[in-house]
Amino acid sequence: MPPLYFDANDVLAHLDYPGCIMAVRDAMTSFTASAKEQPLRTAIEIEPGKVLGIMPGFLPSDERFGAKVLSVFEDHTRPGRSAHRGSIVLFNTADGTVECVADAEQITLIRTAAASAVATDALARPSAKRLVIFGCGAQARSHILAIQHVRSLREIVVWGRNKEVSDNFAERMKAETNLPIRSEADAKAAAANADIICTVTGAQTPILLGQWVRPGTHVNVVGSSHPGPVEIDDALVLASRFVVDSRRSALSAAAEYLKAKAAGLIDERHIVAEIGEVLLERVAGRTSESDITLYKSLGHVVQDLAAAAYIRTKAGLAAAKTPSA
């Protein structure tokens, strides 16, 4: 029997945010608990702005392994669309067969936001109600849709470099979610009263400064996934309890951490934990109400594989409930 194929529409039909958040939480917990080394991603630059990415790995808590193969092509003519396109291949360790192939673009969109939601749930204050999004693209939308499931949000503020774009995005999201969403043209003003901040931009230089972030805030830093581009300044890195998805990956590719380390401001001890260590209660993510907690998201293949496995299982259950003709 050929493997199942889930295109973008299938992924959207089966990968709900609560289910993906649960799957990613389990994946990151088992990833850290297993203590088994997994390969770093391989990125091959085809030409400037065009990259081939290969991410192999396995789910420690499941009998599955696989890889994500995708292109990352920046396309500024289509705002709001993810730059990631490709496929996730999921294998079964029982006999090595391919269980499914799934669209990587939509899974990446949803699982990245789900990972931020897992981190937010673990690190943000329980009373956090004001979410600020730096960015107006596809990840900005998915982060709003995800984080509403882990905190009762009373206000969402969106900042973007282009006020017309951010105004339009805020209006669209307000209509889609029925949540109180508005745009703010001043980045400092946007951050001033935030409980949770997500940076999901393609910025090359900091768009969020440490002096703007009040004590007690939780920050998800998502936009940069390789050395070079940074969304936040050294001051915010220094002020935060710095948590990562994978310590090994962060030491290789977490741009904001690497920049501060290269300047001699921090060393490897500044990474207080992997998010899995916090979930396992091995390390306290937040030690006080005044801590600024920070989750540096690079993404990990276990998140993709867990999302694909969830889709495969959910699709199988749906098929089992459908009476045959």
Name the segment(s) of the chain with CATH classification 3.40.50.720.
124-300
Angstrom distance (rounded) from CA 134 to CA 123: 19
CATH class of 4-108+302-321: alpha beta
Strands (E), the chain: 4-6, 42-47, 50-59, 64-73, 84-92, 98-103, 130-134, 155-159, 181-183, 196-199, 218-221, 240-244, 271-274, 292-296
Taking only the tens place, the pLDDT of each residue in 64-106 is: 999 999 988 876 555 555 567 899 999 998 889 999 999 999 9
pTM of the model: 0.93
Taking only the tens place, the pLDDT of each residue in 119-170 is: 999 999 999 999 999 999 999 999 999 999 999 999 999 999 999 999 999 9
Taking only the tens place, the pLDDT of each residue in 209-250 is: 999 999 999 999 999 888 889 999 999 999 999 999 999 999
Angstrom distance (rounded) from CA 305 to CA 88: 7
Residues constituting the chain: 325
Name the segment(s) of the chain with CATH classification 3.30.1780.10.
4-108+302-321
Domain made up of 124-300: CATH architecture:
3-Layer(aba) Sandwich (3.40)
